[in-house]
């Protein structure tokens, strides 16, 4: 009788462990954490991009040390542009930002249009610098 009880106990423990692993993998939204910047909920699997952001009437660009991406202009990109606007000294200033997003090939290139090879769809704004980035080249008018 003891052998049957121990066999039943081992089978129960084995099946209960397998169910707990399935529950964790079935709900990927539980893999989030709270960011230190502003208390935003951020998916920890989403890549973080640090770069300089510029938004004009025609386009938006995120330029990092090793990349340059066109930005998909949606509500999050417009929100970032609104947060960057008061910081810029002139319309061509770039402001350092930290965002999460998804990089994908530019669909406009397959349609024969011009643009960046890759575009980023910004998902979350983590940080916006309080001052614009230093200009690489300054053009002065000597009149």
pLDDT in tens, 97-123: 999 999 999 988 888 888 889 999 999
Decide if 88 contacts 132 (C-beta within 8 A). Answer: yes
Q: What is the mean pLDDT of residues 134-139?
A: 63
- Residue ranges of alpha helices (H) inside the chain are 2-26, 75-84, 107-110
> Where residue 29 falls among pLDDT bands split at 50, 70, 90?
very low
pLDDT in tens, 46-76: 899 999 999 988 889 999 999 999 999 999 9
Mean pLDDT of the chain: 77
Three-state SS annotation for 68-104: EEEECCCHHHHHHHHHHCCCCCCCCCCEEEEEEEEEE
d(CA 100, CA 48): 4
**Domains by residue range for the chain, with CATH:** 41-128 (2.40.50.140)
d(CA 115, CA 29): 34
Rounded to two decimals, what is the model's pTM?
0.64
């Amino acid at each position: 009788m003891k052998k049957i009880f121990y066999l039943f106990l081992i089978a129960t423990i084995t099946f209960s462990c397998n169910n707990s692993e399935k529950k964790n993998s079935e709900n990927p939204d539980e893999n989030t954490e709270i960011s230190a910047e502003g208390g935003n909920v951020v998916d920890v699997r989403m890549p973080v991009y640090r770069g300089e952001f510029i938004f004009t009437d025609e386009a938006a660009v995120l330029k990092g040390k090793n990349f340059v991406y066109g930005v998909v202009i949606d509500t999050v990109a417009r929100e970032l542009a609104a947060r960057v606007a008061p910081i810029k000294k002139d319309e061509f200033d770039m402001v350092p930002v930290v965002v999460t997003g998804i990089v994908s090939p530019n669909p406009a290139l397959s349609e024969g249009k011009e643009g960046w090879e890759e575009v980023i769809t910004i998902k979350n704004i983590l940080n916006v610098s309080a001052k614009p980035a230093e200009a690489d080249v300054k053009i002065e008018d000597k009149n």
